[in-house]
Amino acid sequence: NVEASIPEPQRDAWKKHSAQGFTTKEQFEDETVRHVETTLARSLFNCDELAAYSGASLAFRDRLVIEWNKTQQRQTFADQKRVYYLSLEFLMGRALDNAMLNVGLKDVARAGLKDLGFRIEDVISQEHDAALGNGGLGRLAACFLDSMATLNYPAWGYGLRYRYGIFKQEIVDGYQVEVPDYWLDFNPWEFPRHDITVDIQFYGHVSRHQDEDGKNVAVWEGGEIVDAVAYDVPIPGFQTPTTNNLRLWSSKASKGEFDFQKFNSGDYEASVGDQQRAETISAVLYPNDNLERGKELRLKQQYFWCAASLYDIVRRFKKSKKAWSAFPDMVAIQLNDTHPTLAIVELQRILVDLEGLDWVEAWGIVQNTFSYANHTVMPEALEKWSVPVMQNLLPRHLQIIYEVNSQFLQMVEKQFPKDRDMLRRVSIIEESQPKMVRMAYLATIGSHKVNGVAELHSDLIKSTIFKDFVEIYGPDKFTNVTNGITPRRWLHQANPRLSELIASKLGGYEFLTDLTKLNKLEHFLDDKDFKKEWQEIKYANKVRLAQHIVNTTGVRVNPKALFDIQVKRIHEYKRQQLNILGVIHRYLTIKAMSAEERKKLAPRVSIFGGKAAPGYWMAKTVIHLVCSVGEVVNNDKDVGDLLKVVYIEDYNVSKAEIITPASDISEHISTAGTEASGTSNMKFVLNGGLIIGTCDGANIEITREVGESNIFLFGNLAEDVEDLRHAHNYGSFKLDPDLAKVFDAIKDGAFGDANRFTALCSSITDHGDYYLVSDDFNSYIKTHALVDEAYKDQDAWLEKCITSVSRMGFFSSDRCIQEYAEMIWNVEPLVPEQRNGK
C-alpha cells in the first residue's frame, strides 16, 4: 500500500495538497513564470532565453519528480528484482527536449513559450550538454536508461558525478585545443542527497582477528576515508509514468577527515588541501576512448563509485529482511565493460568480511548477481592494474582477488590436468614485471554471463581473448546482445519532421515504442507525395546543417551536394585517415579533369567531426590534416562546389542531433574486426541516410536487415586481417598506386608544411600499416565511385533510403534491453496503471 507511510489522520491533507504538475498551457506558463520569479529570483524585465530555459526546465522537472517519487514507492512496495546498471560514463546530452517529448507535453510548452515571447528551439538550445562520457560506450548507457524506463523495468543507473565532463574541443589554426567543460553552473536535473552519504576507505592494511565463534576474519584498518554523496537524476520513460533514477556519486572530504587539528592550529590551507584532494576523485572524466592508461586516480574513481553503489544496493536489499541466498533473485548488476569490476570483489568482501558468510556460498551469490558486457578486443583498451598499485590502495581487495584466482586455477587444473600453459594463460594475475591484474578475466570469472555487443564481436571475443574461458565454462556463458539506439531521441527528437511524416503514414506514433512497425513504410514506395515530402525533409535537414557549418566555420556549402559525414571519436582504427586520404584522391582527380568532365561530377561535401584524446598525437595529426586539406580545397577556384571539406568542432550529443538527420551517406570504415559494434551507423540509417562501411561490428547486421543492395560495403574481411598484417611485417607490403600519388601530393607541400604529416604517412608506408589503409584503399575509392553513380539517380537513391529505414526495427535499444532482461538479468517489468493525461 503506497500510502501506508503517511499517518492516517493527516493522509487527506497530504493528498489534497500533493503536487500535480502542469498539464495545460496556462498552467505551464504559471509554473514557468513562478520559477523564474521566485525559484531563480529574477525580475521578469530581464527574462532572457537562459532564464526561460531555466523556468521551463524547473516546470518540467516538477512533473518528472512527481512521477519519480511514485515510481520509487511503487518499486519498493512491489519488492521484485531490480537491475543496477554500473557505468563510468553516461553521455546524456540535453534533458529538456527529452523530458518534453517523453511526458508528451512539447506542444503545450511550445505554445506556452510562444505566449511568453520565446521560440522553443532557442530555449532548448540554451541547455549545456551533460557530457559525462567519451563516445559509444557512454551513449549506449544513456540509450539503455531511456529504454529501461520506457519498458517499465525497475532499474537504476549508477555512475560518477564528474565536475568536468569530456573537454570541449576548439579548432584553432587547424589544431585541436582542449577547454575544460565545467557544466554544473546551473543544472536543474540533479538532486543532491546530502543525507545519502557513504564512507569510502582507501589504503590502510589488513589484519586477522578471531570472531566470537572462533572464526578467522579479515579486518581492513587504517588508511583514509572519503565521503561519497549521492546526486539523483530522474530518467523519464516515453509515454509511461515510470521515471527511474540515475544516481551519480560526488566525492567530498569526510567530516571525520577534515583535519581540525590543522584547522585549529591555524594551518587553514593544509586542511583545505585535504578537502581538495578528496574532491579530486570525482573531478574529471578520463578523456580516452578505447585506451586504458593505468593511472592510480582512475582506480580510485572506480573503487569509490563501486563501493558507494554496492553499499547502496546492499542497504536496499537488507531492508527486505530476506536471506542472503535470495540476493541474486532481487538484484541483477550489469557491468558496462570492465570499469566496474571491483564491484565483484567488493560484494565478496561485504558478504565474507562484514556479513560473515562462508566463502563458497558468498562467491555463488556474487556470480549469480553479476553480468559483464565487453566492448572491445583491442589489447590497448583491455584494463589491467598493477599489483603494487592495487596492494597499496586496496589491500583487502587484492587478497580477495588472489583467493578467487587460486580457487579458479584449482578448478581449471582439475579440468585440464598438467596443462601448465593454460593456467598461465587464464590466471587473473599476469606474471609480468610488475604483475598485473587482468580485469576482463576477473569480470568473466565473477559473472554468470558475458556478452559482446554485435554478432561478429561476440564471435571474436570467443575465439580470441576468452577462447580458454569458453573451453573452461562451455559456450553458454558467452552470448551476444547486439547494441541498439533509442528511437525517441534519435528519430523523434532529432528529426521531428520525419517522425511526423512516418506517423502520418503508419497511423500514429506506435513505431516509437515498437520500431519493427516501420516495416509498413515499404508499402508507400510508390506514393509520390510521400516521397516528395521525404526528400524535402532531408533537404531541410541539410540546409539546417549547412547553416550550422557556415555559422561555425565560415565555409559555405551547397545543400544540394551529396553530404558525406564521418563523426565519431578520432582513432586510427576508425580510419578517419582513410577518409581524408580518399578526399585528397578525389581532389587530385578533379584537378586533373577537363571542364567538360567536371560538369558530370556530383558535388560533395565531406564533413568530419570528433574529438581526439588529448594525449593521442596521431589522432590530432589526422584532425590537422583534415583542416589543412579543407583550407586548400575550399579556396580552390577550379573546384568550387564540387568538393568542400569541413571540420565541425566539438562533436557531442546535441550536435549529433543536428548532424545525423542531414547525411546522404555516412562513413563507418574501421579495419575489419576492430569496431565492436558502432551505434552511429544505426542512427544515420534510421534517419534516411545510406552508409559506406566495412564488414565490421553492427554494419554486418545492418546489411542483413536492409539488404546488400542498400549499403556500400568495401574492404578486407576480419578473417584476413591477421594474415595481411603478418605479410606486411615480413616484407610483402606494397603501397597502393593511387595512395602513392596522394602521399606524393602531401610530400610536395600541397597542404602546407609536409613535415607535419610525415609520421602519419610513414605509419602506413614504413611501419607495417597496422590498420590496412593501403590494402583497403582501392576498394574504398571504387566504392565511393559507386556512391557517386547511385546518387545521380535520385529516385532509386530515395527508394534505398526509405527501404532501409523501414527495415531498421531490429536496432531499437528496446529490443536490446528486452534481450538483456530475459537472457541475462531475469527481471520483469513493473507496469504502472496509466493515469489520466497519459
Interacting residue ranges for ligand T68, rule: CB under 6 A: 134-137, 140, 288-290, 292, 375-376, 381, 453, 483, 675-679, 697
Q: In the complex, what is the shortest distance from the CB of residue 826 to ligand T68, in angstroms, rounded to a whole number?
A: 22
Q: Rounded CA gap, 474 and 479, in Å?
A: 11
Q: In the complex, what is the shortest distance from the CB of residue 133 to ligand T68, in angstroms, rounded to a whole number?
A: 7
Q: Rounded CA gap, 28 and 248, in Å?
A: 29
Other beta carbons within 10 Å of 525: 13
Q: Rounded CA gap, 550 and 557, in Å?
A: 8
Residue type, 513: T
The secondary structure of 41-99 as a DSSP string is ---GGG--HHHHHHHHHHHHHHHHHHHHHHHHHHHHHHT--EEEEE-S-EEEE-SHHHH
**Secondary structure of residue 823 in the 3-state scheme:** helix
Catalytic residue among 683, 725, 784, 800: 683
**574: annotated active-site residue:** yes
Q: In the complex, what is the shortest distance from the CB of residue 494 to ligand T68, in angstroms, rounded to a whole number?
A: 18
Q: Which helix (H) or strand (E) holds 455?
A: helix 455-463
Cβ-based nearer residue to ligand T68, 416 or 573: 573
Q: In the complex, what is the shortest distance from the CB of residue 620 to ligand T68, in angstroms, rounded to a whole number?
A: 18
Q: Which three cell numbers stand for residue 518?
A: 516501420
* Burial (CB count <10 Å: 0-12, 13-18, 19+), residue 363: buried
Catalytic residue among 61, 375, 586, 784: 375
Cβ-based nearer residue to ligand T68, 242 or 577: 577
Q: Rounded CA gap, 836 and 834, in Å?
A: 7
Cβ-based nearer residue to ligand T68, 140 or 626: 140
**Residue 163 has what DSSP assignment?**
S
Q: Rounded CA gap, 421 and 662, in Å?
A: 53
Q: Which of 661, 663, 770, 793 is nearest to 724 (CA)?
A: 770
Beta bridge partners of 182: 164
Cβ-based nearer residue to ligand T68, 288 or 348: 288
**683: annotated active-site residue:** yes
Cβ-based nearer residue to ligand T68, 440 or 711: 440
Q: Rounded CA gap, 315 and 299, in Å?
A: 24
563 Rama class: left (phi>0) / alpha (psi -120 to 50) / beta? beta
Cβ-based nearer residue to ligand T68, 166 or 278: 166
**568: annotated active-site residue:** yes
Please identify the residue of the shown chain whose CB is closest to the bound ligand T68. 136
CB neighbour burial string for 152-161, b if at least 16 within 10 angstroms, e if fewer: bbbbbbbbbb
| Residue found under cell 509514468 | 241
Cβ-based nearer residue to ligand T68, 150 or 483: 483
Q: In the complex, what is the shortest distance from the CB of residue 305 to ligand T68, in angstroms, rounded to a whole number?
A: 14
Q: In the complex, what is the shortest distance from the CB of residue 677 to ligand T68, in angstroms, rounded to a whole number?
A: 4
- How many Å is the Cα radius of gyration of the chain? 28
Cβ-based nearer residue to ligand T68, 135 or 487: 135
The secondary structure of 566-596 as a DSSP string is EES---GGGTHHHHHHHHHHHHHHHHTS-HH
Q: In the complex, what is the shortest distance from the CB of residue 464 to ligand T68, in angstroms, rounded to a whole number?
A: 15
* Burial (CB count <10 Å: 0-12, 13-18, 19+), residue 732: exposed
List Cα–Cα distances, 367 to 444, 446, 763, in angstroms: 9, 5, 44
CB 387 within 8 A of CB 429: yes
- For β-strands 643-648 and 155-160, DSSP reports them as unpaired
Cβ-based nearer residue to ligand T68, 349 or 569: 569
Q: In the complex, what is the shortest distance from the CB of residue 697 to ligand T68, in angstroms, rounded to a whole number?
A: 5
**569: annotated active-site residue:** yes
Catalytic residue among 61, 139, 574, 655: 574
Q: Rounded CA gap, 92 and 108, in Å?
A: 24
Cβ-based nearer residue to ligand T68, 67 or 675: 675
Q: Which of 479, 494, 456 is nearest to 680 (CA)?
A: 494
Q: In the complex, what is the shortest distance from the CB of residue 563 to ligand T68, in angstroms, rounded to a whole number?
A: 23
CA atoms within 13 A on the CB side of 17: 4
What residues contact 539, with CB distance under 8 A and at least 6 apart?
559, 560
CB 194 within 8 A of CB 229: yes
**Residue 352 has what DSSP assignment?**
I
Catalytic residue among 110, 139, 568, 655: 568
Q: In the complex, what is the shortest distance from the CB of residue 248 to ligand T68, in angstroms, rounded to a whole number?
A: 17
Q: In the complex, what is the shortest distance from the CB of residue 289 to ligand T68, in angstroms, rounded to a whole number?
A: 4
Cβ-based nearer residue to ligand T68, 442 or 453: 453
Cβ-based nearer residue to ligand T68, 165 or 697: 697
**Secondary structure of residue 730 in the 3-state scheme:** coil
792 CA to centre of own chain: 36
Q: Rounded CA gap, 740 and 743, in Å?
A: 5
Cβ-based nearer residue to ligand T68, 381 or 619: 381
**Secondary structure of residue 118 in the 3-state scheme:** coil
* Burial (CB count <10 Å: 0-12, 13-18, 19+), residue 253: buried
CB 101 within 8 A of CB 492: yes
Q: In the complex, what is the shortest distance from the CB of residue 437 to ligand T68, in angstroms, rounded to a whole number?
A: 16
722 CA to centre of own chain: 29
Q: Rounded CA gap, 268 and 260, in Å?
A: 9
**Residue 183 has what DSSP assignment?**
-
Q: In the complex, what is the shortest distance from the CB of residue 433 to ligand T68, in angstroms, rounded to a whole number?
A: 24
User: Could you give the residue numbers annotated as active site?
Assistant: 375, 568-569, 574, 679, 683
